[in-house]
Amino acid sequence: MAADSALLLSLVEEFVSGLQDSKAKDAAKGKCLVKLTPNGVLLLYFLTELKGLGSDFVFGFVQSMDGERDPRNLLLAFQIAKNIIHRGYDLGKFTEELFEVTSCYFPIDFTPPPNDPHGITKEELIQELRGVLTGTPKFAEFLLPLIIEKLDSDVPSAKLDSLQTLTACVSQYEHKDLAEFLEGLWASLRREVFQTSSENVESAGLAALTALTSCLSRSVLNSDSEDSLSSFLDLILKDCKHHLCEPDLKLVWPSAKLLQATCCASNRASHIVTTAVMPSLIDQYNSRTQCSQRRTLLEVVQRFIQSVKSSQSSDNDESVLSAFREALCSIVFSALSESDSSLQITATSVLTSLTQLTGLLLDSDIELAIDHLTRLLLTEEDGRVSAAVVECAGALAELHPAAFIAKLIPRLKNEQHSHHAMRQRCLSALAAVSKQPSVVQDSTPVLLEVLSSAHTGSASFSVDEVVLACHSLQRIAEQVEDSEETGRCFHDVIIPRLLSLALQAALQGSPGVRSPLVEEAVLSAMVPVISTSCSRLQPTSTASRAASLFLDGDVSFLPDNSFPSHIQLLKVCCCMCAHVYVARCHKIFKSRYHDSPTICRPMLLFKSLGSPRQCHVLHENSRFYSCANIIAQGFCNHYLAFQHH
Tell me what the mean pLDDT of segment 359-375 comes to.
95
CA–CA separation, 31 and 16 (whole Å): 12
399 or 642, which is more confident? 399
Model confidence at 608: pLDDT above 70: no
Q: How far apart are CA 275 and CA 269, in angstroms?
A: 10
What band does 433 get if pLDDT is binned at 50, 70 and 90? very high
In sequence order, the 6+-apart residues with CB closer than 8 A to the CB of 77 are: 33, 65, 68, 102
Q: Average of pLDDT values for 295-312? A: 92
3-state secondary structure of 106: coil
Amino acid identity, position 227: D
d(CA 10, CA 616): 97
Closest C-alpha to 287, from 347, 336, 246: 246
Note the pTM of the prediction, 2 decimals. 0.79
- pLDDT higher than threshold 80 for residue 33: no
Distances (CA, A) of 314 to 267, 278, 308, 358: 10, 22, 12, 9
**How many CB atoms neighbour CB 228 within 10 A?**
19
**Rounded to an integer, what distance in angstroms lies between the CA atom of residue 350 and that of residue 302?**
5
In this prediction, residue 43 carries a pLDDT of 54
Residues 494-512 have a mean pLDDT of 79
**pLDDT digit string (tens) for 63-107?**
888 888 888 888 888 988 888 888 888 888 999 999 999 999 999
349 pLDDT more than 70: yes
How large is the average pLDDT for residues 340-349?
96
Binned at pLDDT 50, 70 and 90, residue 338 comes out as: very high
Report residue 167 CA to chain centroid gap.
23
Residue range 610-618: mean pLDDT, rounded = 36
Is 600's pLDDT higher than 60? Answer: no
Higher pLDDT: 228 or 630? It is: 228
> Which runs of consecutive H residues, i.e. helices, occur in 109-224?
122-133, 140-150, 156-170, 175-178, 182-195, 199-217
Question: pLDDT tens for residues 447-488?
Answer: 999 999 988 887 788 899 999 999 999 999 999 988 888 888
Sketch the domain layout of the chain as residue ranges. 535-644
How confident is residue 420, by pLDDT bands cut at 50, 70 and 90?
A: confident
pLDDT of residue 10: 56
